[in-house]
Amino acid sequence: MSSFSARAERTAFTLIELLVVIAIIAVLIGLLVPAVQKVREAASRIQCANNLKQIGLAFHNHHGQYGYFPSGGYDWDRPPTYNNAQPVVAPQQQAGWGYQILPFVEAENAWRGGAGMTDTDRILLAIGTPNKIFFCPSRRNPMVVVFSHPGYMGGISANRALCDYAASNLQGTGVLGRFQGNRFSDITDGTSLTLLVAEKRLNRRFLGQPQSDDNLGYSAGWDEDTVRRTDRLPMPDFLGDATQDGDDRFGSSHSGGMNAVLADGSVRFVNFSIDKTVFTNLGDKSDGQVISSNDF
């Protein structure tokens, strides 16, 4: 038999060789998938931090224009307030901080509405227009839910653009004032050691459905949709039943902690393992307690 004929008979893999190749490919895929997921989460976390950076800048620009930060609004049942077809500012503005910063996050059309629109049409446009900056990509894409309640605009059924971020705090000791916005001069503990806005904790099982703390959207005034507590530790998102919500806590879909923007505009990653007293002090703008940036 010629050497050519011997080589010609070797035309395919043996079964053992094929199984070895498949096993190697499976191992490589098993190593690659977690690496891809890790890179994707890192990118999402960076985008989330950038969202908060832009929100912090919007708070600062609001202060620069009006002399005070946005307020937290009046209450959940108060839609955006207009006077002579123009949006007003605090203390007359009854909607929350998310609505009040719209002109500073390239969303003036949603804030102002269009010529010839009724105030009702302006409200529906404002509350139902999602803004990418209000959503953490680790949790979800921009999302709206349909919400109606007899206490809100006479029970009208309307789209509500949601939000993954909340301001500090529901106790009323934070930068966010309920009716009137606070000033830099009110932050006596130091802007670099005072929480402004951070991610909020949610029940992931019902994302996309109205939940008690995820149904009113970014425009809500003084409600757990847009304001959370700092006397409760932040916790990660979870999968719970329909009776469970975020418990007024800050939190996130990230591993180990959450992104937060401080009153000086800097963005920090706050660990879920943060001491409760430190977190409470971080949320208080003027308690006189000394904390270090290393504490969180």
Q: How far apart are the first and last CA of the chain?
A: 78
Structure tokens at 29: 């895929």
262 bridge partner residues: 195
In 3-state terms, what secondary structure has residue 90? coil
**According to the model, what pLDDT value does residue 36 have?**
61
**Cβ-based neighbours of 208, under 8 Å, separated by 6 or more:** 140, 143, 145
Phi and psi at residue 165, in whole multiples of 5°? -125, 150
Query: Cα angle at 46 between 42 and 51, to 5 degrees?
Result: 145
Query: Is 275 within a domain?
Result: yes
Range 246-261 burial, b when 16+ CB lie within 10 A, else e: bbbbbbbbbeebbbbb
Concatenated DSSP letters for 102-140?
A: GGGTT-HHHHH--TT--HHHHHHHHHH---GGG--TTT-
Query: Is 147 within a domain?
Result: yes
Query: Is 278 within a domain?
Result: yes
Q: Where in the sequence is the domain holding 100, given as residue range(s)?
A: 28-295
Query: Is 14 within a domain?
Result: no
Residue 9 DSSP code: T
54 within 8 A of 135, measured Cβ to Cβ: no
281 within 8 A of 184, measured Cβ to Cβ: no
Query: Is 7 within a domain?
Result: no
What CA–CA distances, in Å, run from 288 to 53, 189, 294? 26, 6, 18
In 3-state terms, what secondary structure has residue 277? helix
**According to the model, what pLDDT value does residue 33 have?**
66
Structure tokens at 274: 């943060």
Query: Is 88 within a domain?
Result: yes
Query: Is 9 within a domain?
Result: no
Q: Count the domains in the chain.
A: 1
**Cβ-based neighbours of 77, under 8 Å, separated by 6 or more:** 149, 151, 152
State pTM to two decimals: 0.87
- Taking the C-alpha atoms of residue 24 and residue 105, their distance in angstroms, rounded to an integer, is 49
In terms of C-beta density within 10 A (0-12 exposed, 13-18 middle, 19 or more buried), how is residue 14 classed?
A: exposed
pLDDT mean values, one per 10 residues, the chain (296 residues):
50 73 79 68 92 98 98 97 96 98 97 92 97 97 96 94 98 97 97 98 96 96 98 97 96 97 97 97 94 83
120 within 8 A of 126, measured Cβ to Cβ: no
- Taking the C-alpha atoms of residue 18 and residue 167, their distance in angstroms, rounded to an integer, is 58
Query: Is 15 within a domain?
Result: no
Structure tokens at 259: 């992104």
Residue 169 DSSP code: -
153 within 8 A of 79, measured Cβ to Cβ: yes
99 within 8 A of 138, measured Cβ to Cβ: no
- Taking the C-alpha atoms of residue 176 and residue 86, their distance in angstroms, rounded to an integer, is 23
Give residue 41's Cα distance to chain centre: 15
- Taking the C-alpha atoms of residue 282 and residue 262, their distance in angstroms, rounded to an integer, is 9
Place of tokens 């703390």: 213
